């Protein structure tokens, strides 16, 4: 007596070739719940050093935006109280808009870092170099005034470390990745 096909042993070949899942050309695309489309390669992950850099840049963006607002607000407060302005009002607005634009650029770089564009690395390096230089000059000014600021020195060290990472091999390998070359049909 022959076994019906639904009672066959798993090692026996199937009696109907259309019921064999290995003969289906789309079977290699099936996920756990059926056809799932083409499989995507696993997304690359940012290294811890680059996450640190992006956190530093985001913190600087927040500080830069607040600094622009503070310069403008302080100028308006001095004007309301009849005191001498820190700077002419037009210059205060220029400084505020410049700071807000720089902060927006930094936030855009942090958000777009996952797209791995080389220009983001350049912008991050320029912004971090600018911040490191400003922190170094702030520390020198605090020394000259007789009140050294260890917090400023700490921020300078963090900026220098972040700049070192952006200019190093880790950031170079992350931001210089290109997509696959376009293929043209041979004929």
Strands 30-31 and 34-35: antiparallel
Q: The whole model's pTM is what? A: 0.66
User: What is the pLDDT confidence band of residue 27, given thresholds at 50, 70 and 90?
Assistant: very low
Q: What is the mean pLDDT of the chain?
A: 80
Among 135, 154, 148, 7, smallest CA distance to 64 is for 135
Check whether 6 has a pLDDT greater than 60. Answer: no
Q: Which residue(s) pair with 34 in the sheet?
A: 31
Map tokens 């820190």 to a residue: 86
């Amino acid at each position: 007596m022959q076994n019906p096909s639904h009672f066959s042993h798993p090692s026996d070949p199937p009696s109907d070739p259309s019921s064999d899942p290995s003969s289906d050309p789309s079977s290699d695309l099936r996920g756990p719940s059926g056809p799932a489309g083409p499989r995507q390669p696993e997304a690359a992950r940012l290294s811890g050093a680059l996450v640190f850099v992006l956190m530093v840049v985001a913190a600087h963006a927040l500080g830069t935006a607040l600094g622009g607002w503070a310069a403008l607000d302080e100028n308006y407060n001095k004007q309301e109280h009849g005191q001498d302005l820190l700077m002419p009002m037009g210059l205060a607005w220029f400084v505020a808009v410049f700071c807000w634009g720089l902060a927006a650029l930094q936030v855009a770089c942090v958000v777009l870092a996952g797209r791995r564009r080389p220009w983001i690395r350049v912008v991050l390096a320029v912004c971090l170099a600018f911040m490191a230089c400003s922190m170094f000059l702030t520390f020198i000014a605090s020394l000259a005034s007789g009140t050294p600021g260890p917090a400023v020195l700490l921020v300078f060290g963090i900026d220098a470390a972040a700049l070192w990472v952006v200019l190093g091999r880790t950031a170079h390998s992350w931001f210089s990745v290109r997509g696959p070359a376009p293929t043209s049909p041979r004929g």
